[in-house]
């Protein structure tokens, strides 16, 4: 093995940043060298996350104060918009940037502006960014200097759909995605609709017909199928901390059987270290804290339709775990390094 790489985590005070710290700290080839947090600069990390006390981790600092000469790789866990501005200034100072925001996921800057309500200020970097859905981007990821990690909803949805789309098994005009996430998917910001009494004992849909992850799902489906498509996508918030479940409803193309679909998925994912095809219905409690995605495929009572259910931990496979997996691939390492953590149950 080569010498460990020195890693900086930007936005370390947020949930995805904290998850990245947890995983990087347990990675045999990564040395956690710098942590940034704009509003908490100068504070010990344990003041924000007491669970990290006593581990000798660096204090939080401004990204401008990082000694970039000693950093090899960056995990950027910054808010949308802020990420592109920071990455543009540090990209040439390090070998590899893994961006966990949405700033480099959409290839079309016009679509980015329409989706996120602000223009993309660094469109010259969009061509350099590799969309890091690891299982479908390995060749492109090797040696990549800028990786755009997919959103959590797109990760769960696309892993559910892409094997069937690749094989030409589905009618793309009729895809429906019913998605549900724990509250950490909304980040750590203070918000009235996320406090305990507003979230517990209930569930609700949000951003109905207009969620910003839908164009990201469309984009990947169109790349794989070479067909224009718009999925019907509805997200929901569940009263749990972490975890995500997507239920995709698909119309099979003519003469395609459920057995053929199941066979295609098992064949496509047979060598994937983090994908499990189950005979039973997947449950979020069984993948909590891991980089796994569990998928179940079921024939619908409506003829010619199937239901595909997938679960991930939104902070791990849906965010920081996938980021570490992508970093491993960019370096030509075993992509499971630092990620063979078992799910936490109960």
pLDDT tens figures, 71-95: 999 999 999 889 999 999 999 999 9
Structure tokens at 186: 């909304």
Q: Would you please indicate which residues are annotated as catalytic (active-site) residues?
A: 152
- pLDDT at residue 11 greater than cutoff 60: yes
Residue 125 main-chain phi, psi, to 5 deg: -85, -15
Q: What is the CATH T-level fold of the domain 153-315, as seen in this structure? A: Dihydrodipicolinate Reductase; domain 2 (3.30.360)
Q: What is the pLDDT of residues 136-185, one digit of tens each?
A: 999 999 999 999 999 999 999 999 999 999 999 999 999 999 999 998 87
Structure tokens at 323: 């980021």
Where are the chain's structural domains? Answer: 5-128, 153-315
Alpha-carbon distance 321 to 325, whole Å? 6
Angle subtended at Cα 117 by Cα 112 and Cα 118, rounded to the nearest 5 degrees: 75
Alpha-carbon distance 322 to 307, whole Å? 25
Cα 263 to chain centroid, rounded: 26
Closest CA to 341 of 290, 294, 274, 292: 290
Q: What is the pLDDT of residue 193?
A: 67
Cβ atoms 2, 28 nearer than 8 A:
no
Q: Which residues, in sequence order, are bridge partners of residue 74?
A: 8, 97
Q: What is the pLDDT of residue 113?
A: 96
Q: What is the pLDDT of residue 44?
A: 95
Beta strands in 104-243 (DSSP E): 130-131, 146-148, 170-181, 204-205, 232-237
Question: Stretch 48-63: mean pLDDT, rounded?
Answer: 95
- pLDDT at residue 188 greater than cutoff 70: no
Q: What is the pLDDT of residue 38?
A: 86
Of the chain, the percentage scoring pLDDT greater than 70 comes to 97
Residue 174 main-chain phi, psi, to 5 deg: -125, 25
Alpha-carbon distance 10 to 170, whole Å? 40
Alpha-carbon distance 104 to 107, whole Å? 7
| DSSP-derived pairing of the beta strands 204-205 and 232-237 | antiparallel
Q: What is the CATH T-level fold of the domain 5-128, as seen in this structure? A: Rossmann fold (3.40.50)
Question: Stretch 319-335: mean pLDDT, rounded?
Answer: 98
Residue 124 main-chain phi, psi, to 5 deg: -65, -20
Residues 6+ apart with CB under 8 A from 261: 164, 169, 252, 297, 306
Q: What is the pLDDT of residue 190?
A: 57
| DSSP-derived pairing of the beta strands 232-237 and 293-299 | unpaired
Residues 6+ apart with CB under 8 A from 40: 13, 47, 48, 60
- pLDDT at residue 187 greater than cutoff 70: no
Structure tokens at 78: 């910054």
Alpha-carbon distance 53 to 50, whole Å? 5
In 3-state terms, what secondary structure has residue 124? helix
Instruction: Map tokens 């070479």 to a residue.
Output: 226
């Amino acid at each position: 093995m080569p010498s460990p790489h020195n890693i900086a985590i930007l936005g370390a005070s947020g949930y995805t940043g904290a998850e990245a710290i947890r995983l990087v700290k347990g990675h045999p080839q990564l040395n956690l060298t710098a942590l940034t947090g704009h509003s908490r600069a100068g504070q010990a990390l344990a003041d924000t996350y007491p669970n990290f006390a006593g581990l000798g981790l660096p204090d939080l600092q401004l990204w401008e104060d990082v000694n970039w000469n000693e950093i090899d790789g960056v995990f950027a866990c910054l808010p949308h918009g802020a990420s592109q501005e920071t990455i543009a200034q540090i990209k040439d100072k390090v070998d590899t940037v893994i961006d966990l925001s949405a700033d480099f996921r959409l290839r079309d800057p016009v679509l980015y502006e329409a989706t996120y309500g602000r223009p993309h200020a660094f469109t010259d970097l969009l061509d350099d960014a590799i969309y890091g859905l690891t299982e479908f981007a390995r060749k492109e990821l090797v040696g990549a200097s800028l990786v755009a990690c997919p959103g959590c909803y797109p990760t769960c949805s696309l892993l559910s759909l892409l094997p069937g789309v690749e094989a030409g098994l589905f009618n793309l005009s009729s895809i429906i995605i019913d998605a549900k996430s724990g509250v950490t998917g909304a980040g750590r910001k203070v918000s009235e609709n996320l406090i305990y009494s507003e979230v517990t004992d209930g569930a609700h849909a949000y951003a109905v017909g207009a969620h910003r992850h839908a164009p990201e799902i469309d984009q990947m489906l169109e790349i794989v199928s070479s067909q224009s498509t718009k999925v019907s996508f509805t997200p929901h918030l569940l009263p749990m901390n972490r975890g995500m479940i997507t239920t995709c409803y698909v119309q099979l193309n003519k003469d395609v059987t459920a057995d053929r679909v199941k066979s295609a998925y098992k064949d496509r994912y047979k060598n994937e270290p983090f994908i499990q095809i189950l005979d039973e219905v997947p449950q979020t409690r069984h993948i909590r804290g891991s980089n796994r995605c569990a998928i179940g495929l079921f024939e619908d009572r409506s003829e010619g339709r199937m239901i595909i259910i997938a679960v991930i931990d939104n902070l791990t496979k849906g965010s920081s775990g996938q980021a570490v997996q992508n970093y491993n691939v960019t370096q030509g390492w075993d992509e499971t390094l630092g990620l063979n953590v078992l799910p936490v149950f109960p």
